[in-house]
Structure 1
Amino acid sequence: MSEQNRGKAKKRGVVMQVEDIQICVVMVGLPARGKSLIAQKAQRYLRWLSVDANVFNVGNYRRDANPQPTADFFDTSNAEGERMRRAAAEAAVTDMLKWFKGGGTVGILDATNSTKERRRWIKERCDAEGIETLYVESKCDDEDLIMSNILEVKTTSPDYVGQDPETAAQDFRKRIRNYEKVYQTIDEDENDLTYVKIMNVGKQVIINRIQDYLQSRVVYYLMNLHIKPRSIWLSRHGESQYNETGQIGGDAELSANGEMYSRKLPKMVRDSVGDDRPLTVWTSTLKRTISTAKHLPKEYNQLQWKALDELDAGVCDGLTYAEIEEQYPEDFKARDDDKYNYRYRGGESYRDVVIRLEPIIMELERSEDILIITHQAVLRCIYAYFMKKSQEDSPWMAVPLHTLIKLTPRAYGTEEQRYKANIPAVSTWRSKGSVAKHEDAPPDDAQSI
């Protein structure tokens, strides 16, 4: 921890908190090594855990002056290209340091940062402001993975919008060769740096000089990442008998409509996957999710997670919202005022659910081909993680019954597709202040699960 931050803590006379530490995470690596995807994932993970994090992508600053350069722009013999790229890096670092002064906690500098000179310059700038630096180098010599990144990721980069994919891929290969001429991996000359080196998508991880809790949390998360293209499928359980009566919580059986959804789900999954590869299915331990999964093919391995159980409503379990408003009017209002942090008497808050879901997120990040069948509040938290939804908005998002959601993480965001079963179900969404199960139902095209 920097002397500046130690001073802040001593003046307050309190035990050190995560927010007292500020870290610049410096991405390092050749193009097509998954740096931007890692940066975006780290940002959304930290924000999901209530840590203020922001990505500063040097490429975005460079695009202000040169939006679609050819590979020759990145040749070190191109003096004008070198000047413009240096200016972009300086602008990004300057903006990041201003953001830190405004109270930011983790700034992620997304660039190749190819040379020891550039990395040392960043450290000196951060040291002068009392900001810790953590270098994250993504290295890969797996040609299949590199080509996959070139074709799957970089041909959708803003640098190649509207261009022929094969032409773009050829230009990007040339860009990589230009970077290879000057690239210097982190080695023993930089042993004073705090760094983590991720080799071939996590097959080997090297860690050096990790200093505090927040750095450890970031590194632990990075150790569980893979950057191979994949999708995750999400679904609520089929409509339950409690859904029909407007009661919350419980361990009810499926309704007749819910049973219809469980029978239709296997075809919906196969159609969305696009082939016959089996998925691993995660459900909660409650009957309505297990029953929803029961007609999926036998080759689908099914696992039950207690962590995926619905938000615990405590003394309100089994009540309708109208009954909660009548019996606990102060609690009903308090939950509407701050739904993310409100904790049911004897139960949980959305913040509590996020904490218990962290191991699920870790396992999800290192897994492939997962279908999760769970509950409304839990799905809201998982969806918020992938789609970078705010804590204020996530508890109010509409998560319709009888809908399969396919999420595909990309370097520049997460793609979403929805598949509706067209099987009737009640709306369990409510707006602030409402009590009836059908009241204020959102439109079908609401982008708010």
Structure 2
Amino acid sequence: MALVSVQGEWYIYFWLLYCKIYSAIIWLFGNHCRGADKVRSVITGGTGVQSSGSIQRARTRRKKAQQHRVKYIVALTRRSSARRIIMAPGASAAHVMMEDKEKTLHGAGVSMRTRRVSPFAPLLIALVGLPARGKSQLAHRLSRHLNWNGESTKVFDSSEYRRRHMALYGSHDIFRADNQQGSAIRRQSAREAAQDAVHWLKDGNSVAIFDGTNITREQRQDLNGLSEMGFRILFIECVCEDQDLLERNIIEILHYSADYKNMSEDGAVDDLRKKLEHYMRQYEPIDVGVENIAVVRVENMGETVTAHKVSGQKESGILGYLSGMRALPQTLYFTRHGESEYNVLGRIGGDAALSARGEMYARALAEHMNGLATREPFSIWTSELRRTKQTAADIRAPKCALRALNELDAGICEGLTYEEMQERFPQEFAWRDQDKLRYRYPWGESYIDIMTRLRPVLSALEDDHNVIVVGHQAVLRCMLGYFLDAKLDELPYMTVPLHTIVKLTSYGYTYKVEMIKMPVDCVDTHRKQPKNCSITRTTADALVTVPSHYDTLPSNLWQNPSEAQI
């Protein structure tokens, strides 16, 4: 059997060799014939005589050769992102069709070789929609959300630019389509806002939000052309069909807009109604079948969200945020736990119980909040630590303990005083003073870590109402900083005193802050940043801003008045 197999293999080798030699002979013979035909045609062409038979044979050979080449032809068509390969009979026809299509697109002003914008490029968000559809509220909420997540974002409101060109708002006539002077002012204002947005992105920032109506296709086409500068463009169209929501938006404009602050209520209502009529006559809703743009359509402030041609990491995150957004009036309450035993001793972290004065605050807080609960119910969110649960124990409302609200973990410094930290870890203490926002305790956390774990809590809280958050100093600094849109570097030094209720009430797209101090004494735990943050500083320089506590104050301050008299 082995011998038969070997003989079979040798037979195959000889057969392949034979085919190769035969092909070479045919190729040489063909070239020789074609060379002879060329010589013959040159000779006969020079004498002006050529037989009809030779012409017919030449045409036949040429036709067969073309058919042979068409069978295996490869047509390459360049695209903007890839090179498409077509290998099939008739590929030459397909190649011609693609060339014709590219010529047609070029004639229409569209290039198949348009540069693809990087997915990491800066993003320009342009809002679209009629007035009173919630555009400004969406813009500022989105800006707050993106800044919190590390995307440097700024809102550019075209109305603010318009007011710079007008000393005093006159009337709705400026918004009429046939008012040439008013139209020129509005176009100029929109251009200035867009230019400043472009400068913001060119300066290395991540996102610019252009808050304007952008109700015509021409305006949107001009904005979409900024992609040629290397920016990503996303349009967000705000539509509102809910009459209750629309009425609330109109009331907010009448109360908070600078255009109507000097008008009577009836005059402002009439002016705004006519302004809306002017815009509705000019409004061209986005048609994705006509406009080649990336767009998110938001109906009734997040009730329904649809997307078209949306791609990219930033855009996907924005789409997720808009899908969970709701526009509701809010009242939120924030308070630290009552004074704890560790607060009295000047120690950080831990799971200490309330001091005697902390228990007094818990009773005062319960009395205050239970009085409010008779008018409108609310819920309570606490951390998992003992001192927050004790503070909220007597409040008659549903309670929820969240791990995300736990105090900053100080790692190896947990339970130490600032004096002990300076003595044991002077270098760590100096590093924390140099950059308190980003400093992470060994085996512990930083403020950035708190911000990360608070994201789902803030998303839920942003769309809730009448919630009391009983938390800790670092956590509440981050939460209040989010709603007040504070700069990140300011968070670690925000003042959030003990035995104080911080009330936030939604005020347009911002929040009004009210501090309610309970009549119960407590220590001050706020520590300012020292001027000297060097690792070679003295102990006195390191501890200069440390607040006083039990170990550093006269003992009679901690005694009851009756004991002090004795």
- TM-score for both structures, normalised by structure 1: 0.89
Conserved 8 A contact 2:155-2:209: yes
Alpha-carbon offset, residue 198 of structure 1: 1.4
Which residue identity is paired with 2:398? N
The residue that corresponds to 2:239 in the other structure is 139
Alpha-carbon offset, residue 357 of structure 1: 0.7
Describe how 1:38-437 pairs up with structure 2 within 5 A: 38-66=138-166, 67-124=168-225, 126-190=226-290, 192-269=292-369, 276-297=375-396, 300-411=397-508, 413-432=510-529, 433-434=542-543, 436-437=546-547
Conserved 8 A contact 1:334-1:342: yes
Which deviates further from its counterpart, 184-193 or 212-221? Answer: 184-193
Alpha-carbon offset, residue 192 of structure 1: 3.0
Q: From the superposition, tell whether residues 266 and 155 of structure 1 become closer, same or farther in structure 2 (CA, over 3 Å).
A: same
Please give the per-residue CA displacement for 1:377-398, whole angstroms capped at 9, x wherever unaligned.
0111111111121122110111
Please give the per-residue CA displacement for 1:9-44, whole angstroms capped at 9, x wherever unaligned.
xxxxxxx8xxx4200111112111111111111112
Q: CA RMSD in A?
A: 2.1
Please give the per-residue CA displacement for 1:319-339, whole angstroms capped at 9, x wherever unaligned.
111111111110000000000
Per the alignment, in what secondary structure is the counterpart of residue 289 of structure 2?
helix
Separation in 2, partners of 1:165, 1:234: 34
Separation in 1, partners of 2:275, 2:347: 59
Per the alignment, in what secondary structure is the counterpart of residue 437 of structure 1?
coil
Instruction: From the CA coordinates, give the structure whose radius of gyration is larger.
Output: 2
Conserved 8 A contact 2:362-2:391: yes
Per the alignment, in what secondary structure is the counterpart of residue 514 of structure 2?
strand
- Provide structure 1 residue ranges, at least 5 long, that are not aligned to the other structure: 7-15, 440-449
Conserved 8 A contact 1:268-1:419: no
Conserved 8 A contact 1:24-1:133: yes
Alpha-carbon offset, residue 218 of structure 1: 1.7
Separation in 2, partners of 1:428, 1:195: 48
Per the alignment, in what secondary structure is the counterpart of residue 84 of structure 1?
helix
Which residue identity is paired with 1:284? S
Alpha-carbon offset, residue 412 of structure 1: 5.1
Which residue identity is paired with 2:129? G
Conserved 8 A contact 1:34-1:411: no
Separation in 2, partners of 1:393, 1:56: 23
Greater relative contact order, per chain length (Cα 8 Å cut-off, separation 6+): 1
Separation in 2, partners of 1:138, 1:231: 25
Separation in 2, partners of 1:128, 1:136: 20
Separation in 1, partners of 2:237, 2:416: 52
Q: From the superposition, tell whether residues 165 and 261 of structure 1 become closer, same or farther in structure 2 (CA, over 3 Å).
A: farther
Separation in 1, partners of 2:491, 2:523: 20
Alpha-carbon offset, residue 214 of structure 1: 1.2
Alpha-carbon offset, residue 201 of structure 1: 2.3
Separation in 2, partners of 1:223, 1:149: 20
Q: From the superposition, tell whether residues 275 and 210 of structure 1 become closer, same or farther in structure 2 (CA, over 3 Å).
A: farther
Alpha-carbon offset, residue 282 of structure 1: 1.1
Which residue identity is paired with 1:156? Y
Separation in 2, partners of 1:205, 1:40: 18
Which deviates further from its counterpart, 400-409 or 83-92? Answer: 400-409
Per the alignment, in what secondary structure is the counterpart of residue 181 of structure 1?
helix
Q: From the superposition, tell whether residues 31 and 285 of structure 1 become closer, same or farther in structure 2 (CA, over 3 Å).
A: same
Conserved 8 A contact 2:121-2:230: no
Alpha-carbon offset, residue 270 of structure 1: 6.0
Per the alignment, in what secondary structure is the counterpart of residue 393 of structure 1?
helix
Conserved 8 A contact 1:282-1:305: yes
Separation in 2, partners of 1:418, 1:177: 42
Separation in 1, partners of 2:266, 2:344: 53
Which deviates further from its counterpart, 341-350 or 20-29? Answer: 20-29
- TM-score for both structures, normalised by structure 2: 0.71
Please give the per-residue CA displacement for 1:251-309, whole angstroms capped at 9, x wherever unaligned.
111112111111122343467x6971111211111111111111112xx2221111111
Alpha-carbon offset, residue 137 of structure 1: 1.5
Conserved 8 A contact 1:155-1:169: no
Please give the per-residue CA displacement for 1:321-379, whole angstroms capped at 9, x wherever unaligned.
11111111100000000000000000000011111111111111222222211110011
Conserved 8 A contact 2:288-2:308: no
- Determine whether 1:438 maps to 2:514: no
Which residue identity is paired with 1:293? A
- What percent identity do the matched residue pairs reach? 37
Which residue identity is paired with 1:93? A
Which residue identity is paired with 1:282? W
Conserved 8 A contact 2:370-2:395: no
Separation in 1, partners of 2:347, 2:260: 51
Separation in 2, partners of 1:422, 1:282: 23
Separation in 1, partners of 2:115, 2:508: 36
Separation in 2, partners of 1:274, 1:169: 35
Per the alignment, in what secondary structure is the counterpart of residue 103 of structure 1?
coil
